[in-house]
Amino acid sequence: MADLDLSVFLEELPSHLILEILTSGRFNAADLVSLEQTCRIFRRNHGIFPHEFRSFVEFAAFQLCSSDPIFGSLPSNARKELFDRCSGNWKRVLRFLHSVEQSSVMVETAAGNMQITAGRYHTLLVGDSSVYCCGSNLCGVLGQGPDTTQCPAFSRISFPSSSQVIHVSASHNHAAFVMQSGEVFTCGDNSSFCCGHGDFRCFIFRPRLVEALKGIPCKQVATGVSFTVFLTRQGHVYTCGINTYGQLGHGDTLDRPTPKIVELLDRIGCVVQIAAGPSYSLAVTSDGTVYSFGSCSNFCLGHGEQHNELQPRAIQSFKRKGIHVVSVSAGDEHAMALDSSGFVYTWGKGYCGALGHGDEIDKTTPEILSNLKDYLAIQVCARKRKSFVLMDNGSVFGFGWMGFGSLGFADRGTPYNVMKPRVLDSLRNHHISQISTGLYHTVVITSRGLIFGFGDNERAQLGHDSLRACLRPTEIIVQEAKAALVAENI
């Protein structure tokens, strides 16, 4: 009866007004699906739109896709391939586009917007408009002050700014935080200038504003080993820190104590995503080109050659094949990329099966993961000799080194190395929205806003003081956030 009353009410509205409401930007793909399922007016075409659109909602999803920056940058053949890969369903195309955009920043969950990132021996979490940390505070990387050596449970990080954090990045010796205002704060070991505070060669135990970026609002940051890459809202890239291999992209090997713009990328066009390995950098531009620079040990730069690049250089194998890359991940010894059709590529050192091709052969240029061609991937995640791929249905595939249980396969019959992508059965009951892996541990966020971790917990990097290792995904409760929520409701 309620459905009938709502339909009658909506049918009295002009169709253009209903479409305006649906395409206002306030609805995601899941919202559109719910509308289509609960109200019959949205399930019909009404003869208003071209016949290929089955329903009002489907046409609205098409309109939203057309205005999406990723979809708008795709050539017509790439748009068609994505549409076909999504079974001719515009709502699924919209979900793919939003999921890819969120995979490297904040993801929408039932508990609010969240992001999780795993450092070497610690974990950082953004949730409930706050940032939490657990694990080792080596070099002040947790921002908890000089007296804290370890946080056994997620603890809130205090900031001198009232603006909330929208993006975090964790390395082994420093961390960076992007605020909603566009300001960037860093903490940790600045002896190599990676925190961007000039000649202040000391440990920074609490988050400190990067003064050199005042007036230059950022949206993303990537921390390598002793260097940092900053991405501005305008699509410009700045770098600072150690530059032994040219990982800062300035055409030389001079260290930079404060962030300096990468001029070559500035001339090329708008950068939409960045990633940092131990001593190399990756940048994706709006036209789907991947640029790499820095150390080429293990062929991580993807050029088929093993020599360092002091300036950004386009990975030609993608360009020659007309592959539009939308996201990249920089591991310790290998790299991964995701294209606009949800296909996955890997390159670099193949040791332990980290590339997922069924062998341990190094790949000097990107090679498609044929075993995952039947799936639509939305996130790739590479770290020390292991890889993860997140699919649009919420399932996770892992492959590579199983050390410390950080790959997530607890069954005893599995070989020590997983040579080809294999689904994590232990997470089947959850729809995973984001995944991040550190040196020996891995953490995920579900669509409900739950947090699970597995792998090594020797330094409490999984937020459990009583455990030393988690072979199966174990829920991590942020007690401090729960306490704050209860206090607000009293």
Q: What is the mean pLDDT of the chain?
A: 90
Q: CA 196, CA 213: separation in Å to the nearest integer?
A: 9
Percentage of the chain modeled with pLDDT above 70: 87
Rounded average pLDDT over 218-244: 98
Rounded average pLDDT over 310-339: 97
Q: CA 488, CA 220: separation in Å to the nearest integer?
A: 30
Closest CA to 131 of 106, 103, 110: 106
Count of helices and strands (H, E) across the chain: 10, 29
Give every CB contact of residue 94 below 8 A, 6+ residues apart in sequence: 28, 29, 32, 61, 64, 65, 68
* Range 110-486 has CATH code 2.130.10.30: yes
Model pLDDT for residues 377-425, shown as the tens digit of each residue: 999 999 999 999 999 999 999 999 998 999 999 875 566 899 999 999 9
Q: CA 269, CA 264: separation in Å to the nearest integer?
A: 9
Burial class (CB in 10 A: 0-12, 13-18, 19+), 466: exposed
Contact between 125 and 478 (Cβ < 8 Å): yes
Burial class (CB in 10 A: 0-12, 13-18, 19+), 191: middle
Sheet strands side by side (includes 280-285): 271-276, 280-285, 290-294, 309-314
Model pLDDT for residues 97-120, shown as the tens digit of each residue: 999 999 889 999 999 999 999 999
- The amino acid occupying position 285 is T
Q: Is 302 left (phi over 0), alpha (psi -120 to 50) or beta?
A: left
Q: Which residue has the tokens 């190094």?
A: 362
pLDDT at 19: 63
Q: CA 32, CA 311: separation in Å to the nearest integer?
A: 44
Which band of pLDDT confidence, cut at 50, 70 and 90, is reported for residue 200? confident
Q: CA 440, CA 456: separation in Å to the nearest integer?
A: 5
Q: CA 312, CA 122: separation in Å to the nearest integer?
A: 30
Burial letters 104-127, b for 16+ CB under 10 A, else e: bbbbbbebebbbbbbbbbbbbbbb
pTM value is: 0.92
Does the structure show a pLDDT above 60 at 6?
Answer: no
pLDDT at 49: 59
Does the structure show a pLDDT above 90 at 40?
Answer: no
Model pLDDT for residues 333-360, shown as the tens digit of each residue: 999 999 999 999 999 999 999 999 999 9
Q: CA 238, CA 179: separation in Å to the nearest integer?
A: 16
Give every CB contact of residue 320 below 8 A, 6+ residues apart in sequence: none
Model pLDDT for residues 438-456, shown as the tens digit of each residue: 999 999 999 999 999 999 9
Percentage of the chain modeled with pLDDT above 90: 77
Closest CA to 439 of 132, 171, 224, 188: 171
In Å, how far are 169, 213, 217, 273 from 260, measured between CA atoms?
A: 19, 9, 14, 18
In Å, how far are 21, 32, 369, 463 from 35, measured between CA atoms?
A: 12, 5, 36, 39
pLDDT at 258: 97
Which band of pLDDT confidence, cut at 50, 70 and 90, is reported for residue 145? very high
The tokens describing 53, both together, are 């659109």
Contact between 173 and 189 (Cβ < 8 Å): yes
Domain locations in the chain as residue ranges: 2-103, 110-486
Burial class (CB in 10 A: 0-12, 13-18, 19+), 132: buried
Does the structure show a pLDDT above 80 at 14?
Answer: no
pLDDT at 8: 45
Q: Where do runs of H (alpha helix) occur along 121-187?
A: none
Q: CA 1, CA 97: separation in Å to the nearest integer?
A: 35
Burial class (CB in 10 A: 0-12, 13-18, 19+), 146: exposed
